[in-house]
C-alpha cells in the first residue's frame, strides 16, 4: 500500500474515533463472520480497547466456551453473556465483539442500541461454514449436520441482526480490508446522522 492510501486510511480511522466520541462500537453476526478477529484490528486502528464477550465469559468462569456449554448448559452461558455485555458497555471507547447469539437476546439488543453503534458483519453461508470448520470450538455446531444447523440459525437470526445500525459484508478478502470496510461504513453512517 502506498503512502497516500495509508495516510487517508489513518485519517478516516481518526475521524471515526472522534465522531464516536466514546460510544462503544459493537460487532454482531453469525459464528465465523470475523467479529473477534476483525474487531481486534478495528480497535487497533481506532486506538481503542478491544473486548470479546466470549473471552470475558471464559475468564470469569475459568472455563472454555465448550466446557461452559457442557458443564453448565446453554441457559447459564446466555445469562453470563447478558451480564458480561451489560457490564462492559459501561466502559467508554471500546470495540466489543459479541458472540453470535448475544444480539438475539432482547435485553442485550436494547442495551446495545441505546449505548453503542452496532455493526452486523454479514457473510455468506459458504464463507461462514468454511471458517467455522477450521476449529471445533463452537458447541452449537456439534450436530449431525453442522451446515444445516448453520443455515437454520441464519434464517432465524438474520432478521434480528438486520436491526444493527450498519451492515458490512464480511467478504473473502483479508481481515484488514474488512476492518477498513467497517470503519468506512460507520463513518458514512455517523456523517448521515449529522
Annotated binding site for ATP: 32-37, 138
- For 118, the grid coordinates are 452496532
Pick one of 16, 17, 27, 36: the residue that binds Mg ion (CB under 5 A): 36
The one segment of 6-14, 86-94, 95-103, 158-166 that binds ligand S3P by CB under 6 A:
95-103
State the minimum distance, in angstroms, from the CB of residue 122 to ligand ADP: 11
Residue among 16, 20, 24, 34 that touches ligand ADP (CB under 6 A): 34
**Interacting stretch for ligand ADP, rule CB under 6 A, among 11-19, 28-36, 68-76, 149-157?**
28-36
Q: Report CA-CA distances (Å) from 158 to 57, 83, 104, 191.
A: 24, 23, 10, 26
Residue 7 or 106 with smaller CB distance to ligand S3P? 106
For residue 78, give every residue at least 6 positions away whose Cβ sits within 8 Å of its Cβ, in sequence order, or none: 101, 105
Least Å from the CB of residue 136 to ligand S3P: 11
* C-alpha count within 13 angstroms, C-beta hemisphere, residue 114: 10
- Binding partner at 175 among ligand S3P, ligand ADP, Mg ion, none, C-beta below 5 to 8 Å by kind: ligand ADP
Q: Is 73 left (phi over 0), alpha (psi -120 to 50) or beta?
A: left
CA distances from 184 to 119, 187, 188 (A): 12, 5, 6
Which of the ranges 20-28, 33-41, 143-151, 184-192 carries the binding residues for Mg ion, by CB under 5 A? 33-41
> Which residues contact ligand ADP (rule: CB under 6 A)?
31-38, 97, 131, 134, 173, 175, 178
Amino acid at each position: 500500500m502506498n503512502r497516500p492510501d495509508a495516510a487517508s486510511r489513518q485519517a478516516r480511522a481518526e475521524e471515526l474515533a472522534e465522531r464516536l466520541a466514546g460510544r462503544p462500537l459493537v460487532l454482531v453476526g453469525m459464528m465465523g463472520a470475523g467479529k473477534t478477529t476483525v474487531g481486534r484490528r478495528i480497535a487497533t486502528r481506532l486506538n481503542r480497547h478491544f473486548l470479546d464477550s466470549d473471552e470475558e465469559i471464559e475468564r470469569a468462569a475459568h472455563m472454555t466456551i465448550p466446557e461452559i456449554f457442557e458443564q453448565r448448559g446453554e441457559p447459564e452461558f446466555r445469562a453470563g453473556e447478558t451480564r458480561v455485555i451489560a457490564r462492559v458497555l459501561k466502559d467508554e471507547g471500546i470495540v466489543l465483539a459479541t458472540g453470535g447469539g448475544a444480539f438475539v437476546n432482547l435485553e442485550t439488543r436494547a442495551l446495545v442500541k441505546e449505548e453503542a453503534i452496532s455493526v452486523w458483519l454479514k457473510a455468506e453461508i459458504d464463507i461462514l461454514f468454511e471458517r467455522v470448520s477450521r476449529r471445533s470450538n463452537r458447541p452449537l455446531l456439534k450436530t449431525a449436520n453442522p451446515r444445516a444447523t448453520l443455515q437454520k440459525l441464519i434464517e432465524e437470526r438474520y432478521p434480528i441482526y438486520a436491526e444493527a445500525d450498519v451492515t458490512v459484508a464480511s467478504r473473502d478478502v483479508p481481515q484488514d480490508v474488512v476492518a477498513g470496510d467497517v470503519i468506512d461504513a460507520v463513518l458514512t453512517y455517523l456523517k448521515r446522522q449529522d
